[in-house]
Amino acid sequence: MSRVAYVNGRYLPHRAASVHIEDRGYQFADGVYEVIAVADGALVDGEWHLQRLRRSLDELAMRMPMSPSAMAVVLRETARRNRVDNGIVYMQVTRGVARRDHPFPPAAVRPALVVTARRGPARPPAVLDEGIRVLSLPDIRWQRCDIKSVSLLPNVLVKQAAREGGAYEAWQVDDGGYVTEGSSTNAWIIDQDGTLITRPVENAILNGITRRHLIELARAAGIAVAERPFTLDEAKAAREAFITSTTSYVLPVVQIDDSVLGNGRPGSGSLRLRAMYLDFMAGAAAATA
189-to-83, 179, 200 alpha-carbon distances in Å: 37, 10, 13
Give the C-alpha separation, 133 to 278, whole Å. Answer: 22
Smallest CA-to-CA distance from 215 within 287, 158, 277 is with 277
DSSP state of 9: T
Alpha-carbon dihedral sign for residues 126, 249, 284, 40: negative
Degrees to nearest 5, angle at CA 95 with 91 and 101: 140
Smallest CA-to-CA distance from 261 within 90, 131, 158 is with 131
Q: H helices within the chain, ranges in order?
A: 24-28, 46-59, 68-81, 125-130, 153-164, 209-220, 232-236, 268-288
Give the C-alpha separation, 39 to 246, whole Å. Answer: 11
Convert 226-245 to b/e letters by CB count within 10 Å (16 or more is b): eeebbebeebbebbbbbbbb
159 is catalytic: no
Q: Which of 52, 141, 148, 213 is catalytic?
A: 148
State the catalytic residues. Answer: 148
